């Protein structure tokens, strides 16, 4: 991930052996079955059922599948960039392309993802594990994995969460899907806030690990949970998303209002700044650290794009690239993007 956002090849060289070790373990652990798919067994849905009788709930946890694909895809890209491990590269790619499908079932509100094969479609979770393909798997979102967008959105809207460790992960996933209500998010933060302004965990749902008589405040006295130190990332994802390699401004504006940000880092080694007046984008600037061509979705629908290099006022040519645009840049230069 650090390489994607910085394009630092030296860092990638240092990280590569560590990630390769993980990829080799995963490649050895998965099993190719008669259906031609690679399955993960045994597997456990985190903090839910553990090892079960006859291993009924111990195959193809959705989190394991999503993160296995994430790691293998990262290694395919890294090995290509560094020109290493050509034979293993092919094997990693073959496994990733043929991993078992994410488990799913039809519940009261339609088809949803399951935490693991044979899991019930209705369950009270402490973390949104059934949405792992969205985050941390990063395979589904507004502009990625369109074939899964409906089931991901339905799962996000109907998942039951008890308030264990989802204060950041649940709204982050909703932002990635473009369905986060920021007024709701603010209410959750305030409900879980300590006097010093740090947000922790409070019980929100019974029926899972917590009962009706559980003290709703018991976790607030148990120290701070590391999951909650990244609250700001939810706001960042509402302002800018680039994890797919394409820059998208203000992808989630439900109850956002007017907003601006400066120098948020984007994939490709770009620092992006923008202003939103509550209805449209009024400023869009990109600082190119490495001179790569940024790929961005126009925040002005089908209108033409004008790109001006800030250092000398030169007009650059923006080229349509599918549903996005690209433009040539130089290292260290800042570019202003507006309606053409």
- What pLDDT shows up at residue 194? 86
Do the domain assignments include residue 143?
Answer: no
- Successive 10-residue mean pLDDT values, the chain, 340 residues: 91 96 98 97 93 96 98 97 95 97 94 97 94 95 86 96 90 96 95 87 89 90 80 94 95 96 97 97 97 95 88 94 92 94
**The predicted structure's pLDDT at residue 304:** 87
Q: Is 238 part of a structural domain of the chain? A: no
Do the strands 295-296 and 281-288 form a parallel or antiparallel pair, or are they unpaired?
Answer: unpaired
d(CA 61, CA 135): 14
Instruction: Copy the structure tokens of residue 107.
Output: 């519940």
CB 69 within 8 A of CB 99: yes
CATH of the domain at 301: 2.60.40.1180
Domain for residue 177, yes or no?
Answer: no
**Close Cβ partners of 113 (under 8 Å, ≥ 6 residues apart):** 62, 102, 103, 104, 130, 131, 133, 151, 152, 155
Boundary (domain end) residue, out of 87, 122, 157: 122
Strand partners, 193: 199
pLDDT of residue 236: 96
The domain tally of the chain equals 2
Scanning the structure block, which residue is given the tokens 């007017």? 258
Is 69 within the bounds of a domain? yes
CB 294 within 8 A of CB 329: yes
Q: Domain end: 122, 150, 178, which one?
A: 122
Cis peptide before 42 (omega within 30 of 0): yes
The answer to whether residues 212 and 235 touch, using CB atoms and an 8 Å cutoff, is no
Give the tokens for residue 86.
């050509």
Q: Which of 70, 94, 122 is the last residue of a domain?
A: 122
pLDDT (0 to 100) of residue 223: 78
Residues contacting 200, CB < 8 A, separation 6+: 167, 192, 193, 194, 219, 220, 224, 225, 228
303: number of Cβ within 10 Å: 11
Give me 299's structure tokens.
């925040």
Residue 334: which domain range? 257-339
Does residue 142 lie within any of the structural domains? Answer: no
221 in a domain, yes or no?
no
Asked whether residue 57 is domain-assigned, the answer is yes
């Amino acid at each position: 991930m650090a390489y994607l956002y910085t394009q630092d090849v030296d860092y990638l060289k240092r990280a590569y052996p560590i990630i390769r070790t993980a990829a080799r373990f995963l490649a050895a652990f998965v099993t190719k079955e008669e259906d031609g798919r690679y399955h993960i067994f045994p597997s456990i849905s985190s903090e839910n059922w553990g090892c079960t009788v006859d291993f009924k709930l111990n195959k193809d946890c959705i989190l394991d599948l999503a993160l296995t694909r994430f790691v293998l895809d990262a290694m395919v890209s890294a090995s290509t960039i560094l020109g290493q491990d050509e034979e293993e590269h092919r094997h990693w790619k073959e496994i990733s392309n043929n991993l078992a499908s994410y488990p799913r079932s039809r519940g009261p509100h339609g088809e949803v993802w399951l935490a693991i094969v044979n899991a019930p479609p209705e369950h009270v979770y402490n973390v949104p594990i059934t949405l792992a393909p969205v985050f941390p798997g990063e395979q589904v979102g507004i502009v990625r994995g369109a074939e899964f967008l409906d089931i991901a959105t339905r799962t996000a809207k109907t998942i039951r969460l008890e308030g264990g460790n989802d204060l950041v992960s649940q709204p982050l996933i909703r932002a990635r899907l473009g369905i986060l209500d920021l007024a709701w998010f603010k209410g959750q933060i305030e409900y879980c806030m300590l006097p010093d302004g740090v947000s922790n965990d409070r019980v929100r749902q019974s029926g899972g690990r917590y009962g009706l008589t559980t003290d709703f405040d018991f976790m607030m006295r148990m120290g701070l949970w590391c999951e909650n130190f990244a609250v700001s990332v939810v706001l960042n994802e509402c302002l800018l998303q680039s994890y797919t390699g394409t820059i998208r401004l203000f992808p989630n504006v439900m109850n956002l209002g007017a907003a601006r940000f400066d120098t948020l880092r984007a994939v490709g080694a770009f620092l992006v700044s923008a202003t939103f007046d509550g209805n449209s984008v009024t400023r869009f600037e990109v600082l190119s650290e490495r001179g790569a061509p940024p790929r961005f979705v126009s925040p002005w629908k089908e209108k033409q794009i004008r790109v001006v290099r800030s250092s000398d006022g030169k007009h650059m040519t923006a080229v349509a690239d599918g549903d996005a645009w690209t433009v040539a840049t130089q290292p260290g230069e800042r570019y202003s993007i507006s309606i053409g």
